[in-house]
Amino acid sequence: MRKPLATITAAALTAAIAYTLHTNAQDDTPTHELLNTITIAPEDASYDYVRDEWPHWSYVGDYCDIRDVVLQKQAEQVRVGEKCALSGTWVSPYDDVTVTDPSDLDIDHVIPLAEVAASGSRGWSEAEREAFANDERFLLAVTASSNRSKSDADPAEWMPTDTSYHCEYLHLWVDAKHAYNLTMDQKEHNAVARGLNRC
């Protein structure tokens, strides 16, 4: 059973995200140019990723957590009942599957947390880890099967089966890596660059 994690206050979470957005403000820079600003470095394989150290689905009030916020924003039609109970229609961008039961959806971190852990986040505080894990700009409501298929893979290893979503997916990947000053390994960078060249 899903349980919201709230190890810091909502105010602290908001402040952490606000700080990140202030110091890594996105502009209208083309994605190709953003990609060129990202440091290429081998993955930090020695960093022991522990999912529980990345608090996610933080509580936001009115019985809702970040998962609920993402579901509300990404629904084509949504109704919010008592205690944030949701119903509506969603289209999973990874595989273009229409879903009407929110329990059939996963909320995917566009950049998997394990990938973030290996991409230059070793010195992050818990507040910074929570800010990333709950940044709704880089969270997607997708089918559980597509999320399981992706697992912790980067674009060199996995891309959405719906090819019409490839460009948007790569834009989000680069935006997230840039916004949080994360690195890319060479193989990942090459795959992203090749994909963007087709956009």
Q: Does the residue 72 lie in any domain?
A: yes
CA 88 to CA 86: how far, in whole Å?
7
Query: Is 3 within the bounds of a domain?
Result: no
Mean pLDDT of 43-50: 91
Assess whether pLDDT exceeds 80 at residue 184: yes
- 139 domain residue, yes or no: yes
Q: Which domain holds residue 154?
A: 10-197
pLDDT band (50, 70, 90) for residue 13: very low
The residues, ordered by sequence, that sit 6+ positions from 29 with a Cβ below 8 Å of its Cβ are: none
Q: What confidence tier does 125 reach under pLDDT thresholds 50, 70, 90?
A: very high
Give the whole-number percent of the chain exceeding pLDDT 70. 86
Q: What local confidence, expressed as pLDDT, does residue 48 receive?
A: 86
Is the residue at 5 inside a domain? Answer: no
Asked whether residue 2 is assigned to any structural domain, the reply reads: no
Q: Whose CA is closest to 133, among 118, 149, 111? A: 111
Query: Which helix (DSSP H) or strand (DSSP E) does residue 98 occupy?
Result: strand 97-99
The number of distinct structural domains making up the chain is: 1
Residue 4 is assigned to a structural domain of this protein? no
Is position 54 within any domain? yes
**Mean of the pLDDT values across residues 85-98?**
95
- Under the banding of pLDDT at 50, 70 and 90, the label for residue 122 is very high
Residue 71: φ, ψ to 5°: -60, -40
Question: Where does the pLDDT of residue 27 fall: very low under 50, low under 70, confident under 90, or very high at 90 and above?
Answer: low
Confidence at 55, pLDDT banded by 50, 70, 90: very high
Question: Is 1 within the bounds of a domain?
Answer: no
Whole-number pLDDT of residue 161: 98
